[in-house]
Structure 1
Amino acid sequence: MPSDGSRRGSDDVQGTGFGDLLRRHRRDAGLSQEGLAELAGLSVDAIAALERGRRRAPRPHTLRLLGDALRLGAPDRAQLTAAARRDGDPSRSTLRPPPVPANRLIGRGDELTETGRRLGERVTRLLTLTGPGGVGKTQLALALTGGIGPKFDDGVCWVPLAPIADQAAIAPTIAAATGLHPIEGARLVEEVAEQLGRRRILLVLDNCEHLVAEAARICAALLESCPNLSILATSRELLRVPGESVYVVPPLALPAVEQQPESSPAVRLFVDRASARGNKPTGQIEQVARVVRRLEGMPLAIELAAARTNVLTVEELAAELETSFGILAGVSSTAEPRQQSLADAIGWSHDLLTAPERTLFAELSVFVGGWTLNAAAAVLAGTATPGPLERAQTLDLTSRLVDKSLIRVSREGGIARYDMLAVIREFAAGRLAESGRGDEVARNHAAFFLALAEEAETHLRGANQGAWLDRLEGELDNLRAAMSWALRAKASADAVRLAGALWLFCYLRGHYSEGSEWLERSLVLAEDAPGLRSAKAKAQLGAGMLAFLQCEYEIATTRLKSALAQYEELGDTAGTALVMQRLGCVARERGDYLTAESLHCRSYDLFESLGDRSGMAWAHNQLGFVAWLRGDLEVAARRCRKARDSFRVLGDGEGLAWALISLGAIAQYAGDLTEAEDLLQESLALSQRLGYREGVAWSLNQLGIVERRRGFTERAVHLLDESLAEHRDLGDRWRSASVLEELATVAQQRHRTEYAAFLLGAADGIREVIGAPVPEIEKADHQATRQAIERALDRRAFRAAWSAGRATPLSAVADGYPGPAAAPDRSTRL
């Protein structure tokens, strides 16, 4: 029933509390708490809590809803409002609101959805947003409170803790933010809990990392006493409170290879902030993508970089960042000191570390591309094989640094792996340099990875070949750093041993050029070093092999002959046999098949004398390879089948791939294209699984020939183009020439006659430079193609196209640029 305020005088309600007055109006209206809640659009709990009495007045909006639902007249509404004000004590009831963000939040849709779900749906009562300094925790928290704030009937309370230096000041700061006078006393946290009571409030504690212990204690007490309270904390370190839910704020998404850079949140943030300063990077999006990739999507770093566009172009900025992050400092006059630069942001976290944590943090900067727990323990202990105590100590310290957002952890393949953001690693490296222990730590780092490389080397021919290749590939950046230190420090023994241990990996994974440089530099460094005879012999062998693979036949022969002399002097029969095998490979590619066969037979005899089944299988395979190149398919098939069967038993993936390639080539030259395709597809799949790039390139080459023989020239072009790209990237010019000649055959069949002449000229130019003739087995197709072209073109047109090909670099030919002297049809891809 409507109330007109006439049934009771003002004296009757003068001393009545808000809760009692509300209950009286509800009963007069004949409503239950549920009924009033439904009419007012409030929760039943909210109505019950208001009637029980609170020390904080409901908001004006809530009072209006209640007045409308109860159909109160003006006098009753005024009395209800007055009672609320009396009970609420305005001096104690105002919550500190969140600050208004200065900029719009970009690219955090998924993060807002997930964190909003957890808090808004009461999935968790304490949510900690964690992550390194500068990742955007506070900005995400501000956006989050703006989105879910209305779901908390009694509001959002923002408590900034960054300015607080003393743990004892946290409770008074929270008390003041919640509307209590900042009084002192042992019961202050209880006073805050009593003030909050059963109200549904979101309490935001921003920047807890330097006050973790006390912040955690207060959070635990408040959550226990206030059943409807939710807490959102931002902290670089976890609070470790029971029931804490953690959300690691990731960096902004970087441009993916398959997407336009403009769609990347990291790129959009840079463009937005640079544009706000009047420096919109029009036409420089690729350079912007380069910048944000270097900054790994860190919002603070991106904003600091965007601010530098007032004095640098984006391209200049990208170039500067390749060497240092030092330019990203002092670009804001209003930011907090810890946000003035990246060094300030990281230094804030560093200052909170204990001495042992700082030591490990600095030493971990020696790793490049991540590390394992065992590697970290080895560097910390100064030994390649750390013991249980060192591992336990490193595990504990690593755990603390992970919790403090200074290192990241990933879990793939059942192994935890750690790394640092580049900006954090640079800061840590600075601390290591300041300690004066940089060289000692680098030496420990190199010792560990030398031991790893030498252990891996023993597994690169067996059943676990693929796993060990992957392991070395995963540590390639660390291996590079170890080699760089050894060369820089003139540690000749370490350098030559490491380079020698890695040459087989460099071959199998296609790092020909890099491996060659390591071997050559280490051999020069170790030239006058005493001892190291076996290590030098191995390095000479590796240098010769990688030079051979890049068709540097003279260098390869010199290195291999030197290795042969050293192994013979050492009485190392296995080494001698292996070098003979490699010298046979050089002779094979130069068209000297008799010498190649002789060397492979001598190699076989030596391996047989040792009972080395793997060496014997490789000798069979090499003899079969020579046989099919010179056109003796029957002998080739017999040799390669023996090799294949042995490699299957031995579990040698590389050997098996080669045997299958040879058998596939033999089948296609014999005219059995179905068998050829089956064998070559098997070798392709195996090579791809191993990451064996030469095997992939050869398989694609031979499959392209199979498709061309079938008349499927479009498919042939696709396969041959892929093969050419692989061979070119590897530096294998001998095989690149053969693929170009095969492409010329396809071009002639597709009536691209001048382009076919151009390709033959390009192949001929390569062969002249490297001194390798057309293999005997390929001569018939080569001659038939040339004769067909010469019949279709007059002499002048043929010479012009052929000469243009000879003058064009392989890189240009492979990218489909026929050359300036070519006729119009040569500018068209096959």
Structure 2
Amino acid sequence: MPSDGSRRGTDDVQGTGFGDLLRRHRRDAGLSQERLAELAGLSVDAIAALERGRRRAPRPHTLRLLADALKLGASDRAALGSAAHSDGEAQRSPVRPVPVATVELVGRAAEVAEAGRLVGERQTRLLTLSGPGGVGKTQLVLAVAGAVAAGFEDGVCWVPLATISESTAVAPAIAAGLGLHPVDGARLVEEIAEQIARRHLLLVLDNCEHVVADTAAVCAALLEYCPNLTVLASSRELLRIPGECVYVVPPLAVPETDEQLDASPAVRLFMDRATARGHRPGDQIEYVAKVVRRLEGMPLAIELAAARTNVLTVEELAAELESSFAILSGGASTAGPRQQSLAGAIGWSHELLTRTERGLFALLSVFVGGWSLDAAAAVFAGKTKAGPLERAEALDLTGRLADKSLIRVHRDRGSARYDMLAVIREFAVDQLAVSGRADDAAQHHAAFYLALAEEAEAHLRGSNQGDWLDRLDGELDNLRAAISWALRTRASAEAIRLAGALWLFCYLRGHYAEGSEWLERALALTDDAADLRPYQAKARLGAGMLAFLQCEYDGATKRLESALTQYQELGDTAGAALVMQRLGGVARERGDYGAAEALHCQSFDLFESLGDRSGMAWAHNHLGFVAWLRGDLDIGARRCRKARDSFRVLGDGEGLAWSLISLGTIAQYRGDLTEAEDLLQESLALSQRLGYREGVAWSLNQLGIVERRRGLTDRAVHLLDESLAEHRDLGDRWRSASVLEELATVARDRDRAEYAAFLLGAADGIREVIGAPVPEVEQADLRATREAVERALDHRAFKAAWSAGRATPLSAVADGYPGPAAAPDRSTRF
């Protein structure tokens, strides 16, 4: 049994502070601070701090070391632990609270909810809100912290790191935010961990990117030792530590249509901030939409733009932003430099890059509309195709720039693609210019896309046609930039090769006028270049084809005949046969069916001599086309069926679509409307899948005739209007005239005789300008329509409407079939 003195000693420790109790036990054991530190494996400073109360609440491990060194019994160990716990609770200082936002957070309800959900999940120990400068990370992190605060028993601690200039200051900043007073600088993170121990706390670290390495190290240690701690960070760069969950903060949604204007968060933010400056945009909302679209929904950019409404109208602002983002400055006077201007925000991120990262960042600005990894690696390496090591380095640097929120990653159908926000790209363009590498980068860029265009050209008539067309479409902006560089710098070889490789793509995807301009300008650069003659022949063929598609028959004939001569001089039989097909097309639209048939037969013979099954199938298709246009439906059907079967075997989507259109049209003229609809619907679906606009326009045209023959005029008008819009946009005036004549027949059936006369006049005016007669197969219907309209109107009224139609540009006629209410207004213009 213990003595009375021993009991008094135990009683005496009740209510004693941890420091005093530790000192008493040390003295009772006859130990100096130095000897106790040696036995416990701690520093002398740590022992002194604990005894003097400068350090409270040691970790359980430290308590165990001290008790072992002091050889304390079970009751004394428990008393020492209780004192430590009591001191820790008594000493706990209030943490720095989350500041109150000074402006309303607009359009972020979904983001706050999703990020808050992630923070609230127990498995999320660290959530990083990432994104480029100016996307609104700080405002969002404030809102999220406020939304989840009630779920943390020990509160939410706000630690702003934007003003920290040295990475070693991260831990002291966190300690200050937590209200802690650690003394052992060598063990600062451990001391923080000891003092917050098992507290259920949310630690919010704002703006980590410039001290990301030290922030990551501190977070990793705290999360390991503090099981109830959750960290919410905002950073342009990921922390990249185990357990990190990333939420990429998106820009605000911009309106895609006019109906979305009022609901658009980006529009609402602009309106709110402009109104706060005393300049409500009011009836300029359509220009507000232009501004926020141009700024791609970036909150800081929108706020800086809205601030300019003190001196500019929104219309002027939209115009300024089309050429440059330089006016986006003048942020709040209390904001830091990186929030004062858009250039400052992006420049801050740029300063944090390594030299190699800066180099690739600048080079990537040469791309327009995004890029692939292969393209980035080629430009980075300065080659048409990068090697494995160069590609690996480009991949690593791309990953780093993506992690630092300077480029965006898009994933689609198993492939990754990258781009920059427009505001970031403009900054990168300036950096490339300063580096003196802009010309070299543009040259390497053009070389890569020339190689891509020539590779794709070989696949544009095969079974993978659709995939290659989509690939070129996805790179259209880069292809435009490459050929623009070649033409601007008079790089004749690159210009003629690029334009020649792309003409078939331009045809299939409906870029007739643009492709024509490329080809004509490239040909002008290479008139005397003997070494480029094969490319010249191809370019002349393409220029002739695209001119033909726009009904410029004289120019088309000149280019095609020149190409034919050149192919014959080169001994290129396949090229000559292809030109003959195109010349046959010109003759067909001009109504010279005999010449067209002769040219297609010559083309067939040449392809047959080469054993070219694709060329032979196309010759059959063209011969069938000529046959049904002149009214020989049986011959046309036989030819087109043979072509269809060949195209199916060859996997030629364009050819198959055309043979189906011809067979559907033949069935329509034979009166078999069900078969016609089936064939034409198949051609429409195939053309839409390929993005083959001419096939879409023709299919809609013939389906409209089918519905008109059935008496379904509403459906007919819808289909014919769509067809007319497509043909007009493509520049195909020959087919536009036929669609107008069919719409006139619909108007006749609806007792709209005056409007029918107007449409007939418009079609006649087009045919006169282009020099193309009405196809023989269409003449009977047209004659019947005109006769019915003339009977319905007196001569004067018919002449007035007809003349008004002839004088009206196609663009105005193709606005759409007017409804009943619009009819009188349209008639008064005759």
Please confirm whether the aligned pair reaches a TM-score higher than 0.5, indicating the same fold.
Answer: yes
Within a 5 Å distance, the mapping from 1:320-335 to structure 2 comes to 320-335=320-335
Within a 5 Å distance, the mapping from 1:774-789 to structure 2 comes to 774-789=774-789
Amino acid at match of 2:443: R
Q: Any idea what the Cα deviations from partners look like across 1:548-607, whole Å, max 9, x if unmatched?
A: 101111111111111111111111111111111101101110111111111111111111
Note if contact 2:200-2:229 (Cα within 8 Å) is conserved in structure 1: yes
Q: What secondary structure, in the 3-state scheme, does the structure 1 residue paired with 2:186 have?
A: coil
Question: 1:667 is matched with which residue?
Answer: 667
Note if contact 1:492-1:522 (Cα within 8 Å) is conserved in structure 2: yes
* C-alpha distance in structure 1 between counterparts of 2:459 and 2:86, whole Å: 82
Please report how far the alpha carbon of residue 91 of structure 1 lies from its aligned counterpart in structure 2 after TM superposition. Answer: 8.2
Question: 1:407 is matched with which residue?
Answer: 407
Question: 1:132 is matched with which residue?
Answer: 132
Amino acid at match of 1:152: F
* C-alpha distance in structure 2 between counterparts of 1:549 and 1:649, whole Å: 27
Question: 1:192 is matched with which residue?
Answer: 192
The yes-or-no answer on 1:431 pairing with 2:396 is no
Runs of 4+ in 1 over 6 A off after TM superposition: 11-14, 53-57, 83-86, 88-92
Within a 5 Å distance, the mapping from 1:365-444 to structure 2 comes to 365-444=365-444
Q: What secondary structure, in the 3-state scheme, does the structure 1 residue paired with 2:128 have?
A: strand
Please report how far the alpha carbon of residue 123 of structure 1 lies from its aligned counterpart in structure 2 after TM superposition. Answer: 3.5
Question: 2:632 is matched with which residue?
Answer: 632
* C-alpha distance in structure 1 between counterparts of 2:561 and 2:716, whole Å: 40
User: Are residues 813 and 226 of structure 1, via their aligned partners in 2, closer, same or farther at CA, if it must alter by over 3 Å?
Assistant: same
Please report how far the alpha carbon of residue 212 of structure 1 lies from its aligned counterpart in structure 2 after TM superposition. Answer: 1.1
Question: 1:485 is matched with which residue?
Answer: 485
* C-alpha distance in structure 1 between counterparts of 2:355 and 2:556, whole Å: 52
Q: What secondary structure, in the 3-state scheme, does the structure 2 residue paired with 1:582 have?
A: helix
User: Are residues 148 and 16 of structure 1, via their aligned partners in 2, closer, same or farther at CA, if it must alter by over 3 Å?
Assistant: farther
Structure 2's unaligned 5+ residue stretches are 1-10, 19-52, 58-82
Note if contact 1:331-1:340 (Cα within 8 Å) is conserved in structure 2: yes
Question: 1:598 is matched with which residue?
Answer: 598
User: Are residues 569 and 530 of structure 1, via their aligned partners in 2, closer, same or farther at CA, if it must alter by over 3 Å?
Assistant: closer
* C-alpha distance in structure 2 between counterparts of 1:13 and 1:296, whole Å: 68
Q: What secondary structure, in the 3-state scheme, does the structure 1 residue paired with 2:262 have?
A: helix
Amino acid at match of 1:532: L
Please report how far the alpha carbon of residue 817 of structure 1 lies from its aligned counterpart in structure 2 after TM superposition. Answer: 8.0
Please report how far the alpha carbon of residue 690 of structure 1 lies from its aligned counterpart in structure 2 after TM superposition. Answer: 0.5
Please report how far the alpha carbon of residue 315 of structure 1 lies from its aligned counterpart in structure 2 after TM superposition. Answer: 1.1
Question: 2:359 is matched with which residue?
Answer: 359
Please report how far the alpha carbon of residue 456 of structure 1 lies from its aligned counterpart in structure 2 after TM superposition. Answer: 0.3
Within a 5 Å distance, the mapping from 1:86-485 to structure 2 comes to 87=87, 93-181=93-181, 183=183, 185-257=185-257, 259-485=259-485
Note if contact 1:537-1:567 (Cα within 8 Å) is conserved in structure 2: yes
Question: 1:802 is matched with which residue?
Answer: 802
Note if contact 1:407-1:421 (Cα within 8 Å) is conserved in structure 2: yes
Note if contact 2:54-2:183 (Cα within 8 Å) is conserved in structure 1: no
Please report how far the alpha carbon of residue 195 of structure 1 lies from its aligned counterpart in structure 2 after TM superposition. Answer: 2.1
Q: What secondary structure, in the 3-state scheme, does the structure 2 residue paired with 1:418 have?
A: strand
User: Are residues 825 and 263 of structure 1, via their aligned partners in 2, closer, same or farther at CA, if it must alter by over 3 Å?
Assistant: closer
Question: 1:648 is matched with which residue?
Answer: 648
Q: What secondary structure, in the 3-state scheme, does the structure 1 residue paired with 2:417 have?
A: strand
Note if contact 1:279-1:309 (Cα within 8 Å) is conserved in structure 2: yes
Please report how far the alpha carbon of residue 260 of structure 1 lies from its aligned counterpart in structure 2 after TM superposition. Answer: 2.4
Q: What secondary structure, in the 3-state scheme, does the structure 2 residue paired with 1:102 have?
A: coil
Please report how far the alpha carbon of residue 16 of structure 1 lies from its aligned counterpart in structure 2 after TM superposition. Answer: 7.4
Amino acid at match of 1:459: H
* C-alpha distance in structure 1 between counterparts of 2:13 and 2:290, whole Å: 71
* C-alpha distance in structure 2 between counterparts of 1:483 and 1:622, whole Å: 32
Amino acid at match of 1:190: E
Q: What secondary structure, in the 3-state scheme, does the structure 1 residue paired with 2:459 have?
A: coil
Within a 5 Å distance, the mapping from 1:737-776 to structure 2 comes to 737-776=737-776
Amino acid at match of 1:512: Y
Note if contact 1:96-1:157 (Cα within 8 Å) is conserved in structure 2: yes
* C-alpha distance in structure 1 between counterparts of 2:376 and 2:149, whole Å: 44
Please report how far the alpha carbon of residue 92 of structure 1 lies from its aligned counterpart in structure 2 after TM superposition. Answer: 6.2
* C-alpha distance in structure 2 between counterparts of 1:381 and 1:722, whole Å: 47
Q: What secondary structure, in the 3-state scheme, does the structure 1 residue paired with 2:772 have?
A: coil
Question: 2:619 is matched with which residue?
Answer: 619
User: Are residues 817 and 463 of structure 1, via their aligned partners in 2, closer, same or farther at CA, if it must alter by over 3 Å?
Assistant: closer
Amino acid at match of 1:406: L
Q: What secondary structure, in the 3-state scheme, does the structure 2 residue paired with 1:106 have?
A: coil
* C-alpha distance in structure 1 between counterparts of 2:641 and 2:85, whole Å: 96
* C-alpha distance in structure 2 between counterparts of 1:733 and 1:245, whole Å: 57
* C-alpha distance in structure 2 between counterparts of 1:182 and 1:370, whole Å: 50
* C-alpha distance in structure 1 between counterparts of 2:200 and 2:399, whole Å: 35
Structure 1's unaligned 5+ residue stretches are 1-10, 19-52, 58-82
Q: What secondary structure, in the 3-state scheme, does the structure 1 residue paired with 2:722 have?
A: helix
Please report how far the alpha carbon of residue 15 of structure 1 lies from its aligned counterpart in structure 2 after TM superposition. Answer: 4.1
Question: 1:498 is matched with which residue?
Answer: 498
Q: What secondary structure, in the 3-state scheme, does the structure 1 residue paired with 2:129 have?
A: strand
Q: Any idea what the Cα deviations from partners look like across 1:117-164, whole Å, max 9, x if unmatched?
A: 111232411111111111111110001111111211111111111111
* C-alpha distance in structure 2 between counterparts of 1:331 and 1:139, whole Å: 15
Question: 2:63 is matched with which residue?
Answer: none
Please report how far the alpha carbon of residue 189 of structure 1 lies from its aligned counterpart in structure 2 after TM superposition. Answer: 1.2
The yes-or-no answer on 1:543 pairing with 2:570 is no
* Alpha-carbon RMSD: 2.3
Within a 5 Å distance, the mapping from 1:52-67 to structure 2 comes to none
Return 755-764 or 116-125, whichever deviates more: 116-125
Return 379-388 or 430-439, whichever deviates more: 379-388
Amino acid at match of 2:591: G
Q: What secondary structure, in the 3-state scheme, does the structure 2 residue paired with 1:93 have?
A: coil
Note if contact 1:55-1:93 (Cα within 8 Å) is conserved in structure 2: no
Please report how far the alpha carbon of residue 528 of structure 1 lies from its aligned counterpart in structure 2 after TM superposition. Answer: 3.1
Note if contact 1:308-1:331 (Cα within 8 Å) is conserved in structure 2: no
* C-alpha distance in structure 1 between counterparts of 2:218 and 2:717, whole Å: 70
Q: What secondary structure, in the 3-state scheme, does the structure 2 residue paired with 1:531 have?
A: helix
* C-alpha distance in structure 2 between counterparts of 1:807 and 1:755, whole Å: 14
Question: 1:575 is matched with which residue?
Answer: 575
Note if contact 2:762-2:805 (Cα within 8 Å) is conserved in structure 1: yes
* C-alpha distance in structure 2 between counterparts of 1:90 and 1:258, whole Å: 61
Question: 1:79 is matched with which residue?
Answer: none
Question: 1:38 is matched with which residue?
Answer: none
* C-alpha distance in structure 2 between counterparts of 1:527 and 1:94, whole Å: 81
* C-alpha distance in structure 2 between counterparts of 1:436 and 1:777, whole Å: 63
Note if contact 2:55-2:183 (Cα within 8 Å) is conserved in structure 1: no
* C-alpha distance in structure 1 between counterparts of 2:431 and 2:392, whole Å: 24
Note if contact 2:331-2:339 (Cα within 8 Å) is conserved in structure 1: no
Q: What secondary structure, in the 3-state scheme, does the structure 1 residue paired with 2:204 have?
A: strand
Question: 1:44 is matched with which residue?
Answer: none
* C-alpha distance in structure 1 between counterparts of 2:317 and 2:683, whole Å: 46
Instruction: State the identity %.
Output: 78
Amino acid at match of 1:475: E
Note if contact 2:212-2:239 (Cα within 8 Å) is conserved in structure 1: yes
Amino acid at match of 1:110: A
Q: TM-score, normalised by structure 2?
A: 0.89
Note if contact 1:92-1:181 (Cα within 8 Å) is conserved in structure 2: no
* C-alpha distance in structure 1 between counterparts of 2:629 and 2:270, whole Å: 57
User: Are residues 386 and 420 of structure 1, via their aligned partners in 2, closer, same or farther at CA, if it must alter by over 3 Å?
Assistant: same
Note if contact 2:149-2:155 (Cα within 8 Å) is conserved in structure 1: yes
Q: TM-score, normalised by structure 1?
A: 0.89
Amino acid at match of 2:157: C
Amino acid at match of 1:189: V
* C-alpha distance in structure 1 between counterparts of 2:762 and 2:576, whole Å: 37
* C-alpha distance in structure 2 between counterparts of 1:690 and 1:405, whole Å: 35
Question: 2:790 is matched with which residue?
Answer: 790
Q: Any idea what the Cα deviations from partners look like across 1:651-695, whole Å, max 9, x if unmatched?
A: 100000000100111111111111111111111111011010000
Please report how far the alpha carbon of residue 330 of structure 1 lies from its aligned counterpart in structure 2 after TM superposition. Answer: 2.9
Amino acid at match of 2:215: A
Note if contact 1:761-1:802 (Cα within 8 Å) is conserved in structure 2: yes
Note if contact 1:252-1:265 (Cα within 8 Å) is conserved in structure 2: yes
Note if contact 1:172-1:184 (Cα within 8 Å) is conserved in structure 2: no
Please report how far the alpha carbon of residue 101 of structure 1 lies from its aligned counterpart in structure 2 after TM superposition. Answer: 1.1
* C-alpha distance in structure 1 between counterparts of 2:156 and 2:385, whole Å: 53
* C-alpha distance in structure 2 between counterparts of 1:14 and 1:169, whole Å: 40
